[in-house]
A and B are shown apart, each in its own frame.
Chain A
Amino acid sequence: MGATIAKLAERPNLWPWLLLTPLAIYLAIFFLVPLVNVAIMSVTEPRLTLANYERVLVGALYQRVFLNTFLTAGLVTLACLLVAYPLAYLMNHSSQRTAMMILLLVTMSFWTSFLVRTYAWMVLLGNNGPIIAFIKAIGIEIPPQLLFTRFSSTLAMVHILAPYMIMNIYSVMRKIDPVLIRSAESLGARGFALFRHVYLPLTAPGIANGCVLVFVICLGFYVTPVLLGSPREQMIAGLIGTQIEEFLAFGMGSAMAMVLLAVTLAILAIYHRRFGLDKLWG
Chain B
Amino acid sequence: MDRFLRLIGFLVIIFIAAPLVIVVPISFSNARSLQFPPPGYWLGYYQAYFSDTDWLRPTFNSILIATATTVLTMVLVVPATFALVRHRFYGKSVADLMMLMPLAVPHIVMAVGYYSFLGNLRLVHTHMGVVLAHACLSVPIAFLVLSANLKGFDRNLERAAQSLGASPVQTFIHVTLPILRPGLFISALFAFIQSFDETVVAIFISGRDAETLPRKMFDSIRQEADPVIAVISTLLFAAVLLALLTPLAWSSIRKRLRKRPPAAAFSGG
Contact = CB atoms under 8 A, between A and B. Distances in A.
A111 B113 contact: no
Interface string A78-111: 0000011111011101000000001011111101
Nearest to B248: A104
B236 A116 contact: yes
Contacts of B114: 34
B26 A123 contact: yes
B169 interface: no
Contact of B200 (A24, A222, A253): A222
Given A123-B34, A128-B36, A93 B139 contact: no
A237 interface: yes
B263 interface: no
Contacts of A119: 23, 217, 221, 225, 229-230, 233
A222 B113 contact: no
Interface residues of B, number: 94
Most chain B beta-carbon contacts within 10 A, residue among A8, A192, A240 = A240
A261 B109 contact: yes
Contacts of B105: 35, 261, 264-265
B197 A114 contact: yes
B157 interface: no
Interface in B77-125: 77, 79-80, 82-84, 86-87, 89, 92, 95-118
Interface string B2-37: 100110111011011111101100100001011111
Interface stretch (A13-21, A55-63, A138-146, A203-211): A13-21
A196 B27 CA distance: 46
Interface string A240-252: 1100110000100
B151 to A, nearest CB: 11
A124 B18 contact: yes
A61 B97 CA distance: 35
B237 interface: yes
Given A116-B237, A119-B230, A268 B217 contact: no
B46 interface: no
Given A93-B2, A222-B107, A105 B13 contact: yes
A3 to B, nearest CB: 13
Given A33-B117, A114-B199, A12 B218 contact: no
Contact of A12 (B23, B87, B110, B136): B87
B222 A226 contact: yes
Contact of A116 (B23, B37, B76, B204): B23
A115 B109 contact: no
B79 A20 contact: yes
Interface of B: 1-2, 5-6, 8-10, 12-13, 15-20, 22-23, 26, 31, 33-37, 75-77, 79-80, 82-84, 86-87, 89, 92, 95-118, 132-133, 135-136, 139-140, 144, 148, 162-163, 168, 193, 197, 199-200, 203-204, 214, 217-218, 221-222, 225, 229-230, 232-233, 236-237, 240-241, 243-244, 248
